[in-house]
Amino acid sequence: MSEDTAPAGVPRLDKLDREECLRLISPGGVGRIAFSNPSGPVILPVNYTIEQDAVLFRTALGGPMDADLRTGVEGADFMVAFEVDHIDESTREGWSVLIRGGAHHVTGDVNKKVDTWAGGERELYIRIVPVEVSGRRIHHG
């Protein structure tokens, strides 16, 4: 049985296009950034906003993401994954958006302020420029 012919009440998993993915995450909020550091894979929650179809978040200067998201090569990007989801456990429905792209330390003016829940100084802005945007939605047909 294909996804399009699933009877009512049967879970459906649909792929989301780029525009729908960006629309879903455009309000900002909390997402997770995934990257590798010398100790292995790392996934950290961050408060983010969307600015010009790119993810923007703040972190601490000199903190783990400051050093770990630098390649040491001028003009070379450190590739990361960024994930945002919304899940309604009571209905067993939700969506998930995955962005993969280069992480850039932002210098100069930043147009949008990103609220952070974490305490302390968060003066480093990092922008993730999407190379790939994908998403899925699960709902009951």
pLDDT 10s digits, 23-40: 999 999 999 999 988 889
pLDDT, average across residues 1-29: 81
pLDDT for 50 beyond 70: yes
pLDDT tens track for 93-119: 999 999 999 998 886 666 657 666 566
Residue 93 maps to a domain: yes
Q: Residue 7 falls within a domain, yes or no?
A: no
Residue 9 domain flag:
no
- The pLDDT of residue 1: 39
The model's confidence at residue 66, banded by pLDDT at 50, 70 and 90, is confident
Residue 112 is predicted with a pLDDT of 59
Instruction: Give residue 34's domain range.
Output: 16-140
Compute the mean pLDDT over every residue in the chain, rounded to the nearest whole number.
Answer: 84
> How many domains does the chain divide into?
1
Those residues with Cβ within 8 angstroms of residue 141's Cβ, 6 or more apart along the chain or in another chain: 6, 7, 8, 9, 10, 11, 12
Confirm whether 1 is domain-assigned.
no
Average pLDDT in the 51-66 region?
83
Question: How far is residue 129 from each of residues 58, 93, 107, 139, measured CA to CA in Å?
Answer: 15, 28, 15, 29
CATH number at residue 26: 2.30.110.10
Q: What's the predicted TM-score (pTM) here?
A: 0.83
In this structure, is residue 2 part of a structural domain? no
Residue 3 lies in a domain: no
79 close to 71: Cβ distance less than 8 angstroms: no
Identity of residue 53: D
* Per-residue pLDDT, 131: 96
Residue 100 lies in a domain: yes
Query: Are the C-beta atoms of 95 and 135 separated by less than 8 Å?
Result: yes
